[in-house]
Amino acid sequence: MDNYCDMFYKLSKPKYTKAYRETMIFIQLFNILMTKFKYNDLPETIPPELLEGLAISEGICGVGNIDGKPYVGTGGYCGDIANGFLPEDYAGAVQGIGNFRGKAGDEVAVLWNNASRSPDLDLIDTSIALTETITSEGINVLFSRLLRIPIAKDERERKIIEDAIKAIIQGNIQAISSSLKLGDIIGEKSADQSGKFLDLVDIKDVDKLQYLNQYYDNRLKRFLQWHGVPLQITAKLAQQTTQEIHGADNYSMIYTMQQLDYRKKFIDDLNRIFGCNASVELSPVWKESYDRFFTYQGDEQNEEGVIDNGNIENGTADGDNTGNMD
């Protein structure tokens, strides 16, 4: 327990905070993508977390035979060109288990993350952008509470000012000897060097927090939209139609459906090669987004009483297409 406490104490230091935040956000987004697809009835030697994790981070992985059992491992195509596009074989390595190699589609089931067999690199880009936004938020908050810094003419005055500021921050009431002339030290009308201030901050800049928050939300929305969850950050405006709100839904499903197609092809190969009965589908959250896109009705129909507006957002309709809502 002490080791964990030491680790968190270390990460709380400004020197490590930014790296910690970037790692934290990357892991959060990575875990979101790990829940996109639901695998059913995979062999016990193929953990779905490992299978999907390798696809997301490597762009491609394969399942081959090692000692009579199917294992998923990292690797790539090798051997002779089979069809003018890809080599015939796929070779993979399973950490702590061994290696496998075989003809892709006949002896090895190969999973492509997407058509380009590339990782989801936007995980890195989005993590960096969100980290910088949080860092900017922290700077705005910090500088909104800093005081103007008085300039002391010697060390004695500096000590007096610092003690007075510390007392104010701690909520302590202290008496100051009149011979020290603290009023002259920090007075606005002092003629000598004392009484001058360094204006390093402007607390009015804290109002920019709302823009930083909106940028964070929009950047996260962009990431989720690309991955099939069209997130609505703001409420519907009076002049905005439901059709306009859902205008990007079809765009958001392009990439996800491409990924699903390649995962289904992988499952077909896996079942044929290893005699499995596995399947893959969209997970509940993504399936809800998919169903909402294909079931919502436009405002024109809604105004005729065809479908309840509350159910438009949920992607369901309590009624038929005749206008009966029973």
Mean pLDDT by 10 residues, the chain (326 residues): 58 72 94 95 95 96 96 93 86 94 96 96 95 86 71 81 78 66 50 56 72 89 88 51 53 88 97 96 87 56 43 41 40
d(CA 285, CA 35): 9
Is residue 180 domain-resident? yes
Query: What pLDDT score does 109 carry?
Result: 97
Residue 168 lies inside a defined structural domain of this protein: yes
In total, how many domains does the chain have?
1
299 residue type, one letter: D
Q: 135 lies in a domain?
A: no
* pLDDT score, position 308: 45
Domain that holds residue 153: 147-200
Domain contains 196:
yes
Give the three-class secondary structure for 191: coil
Residue 165 lies in a domain: yes
Residues in the chain, overall count: 326
74 falls within a domain: no
Three-state secondary structure call for residue 234: coil
CA distance 254 to 228: 8
Indicate whether 253 belongs to any domain.
no
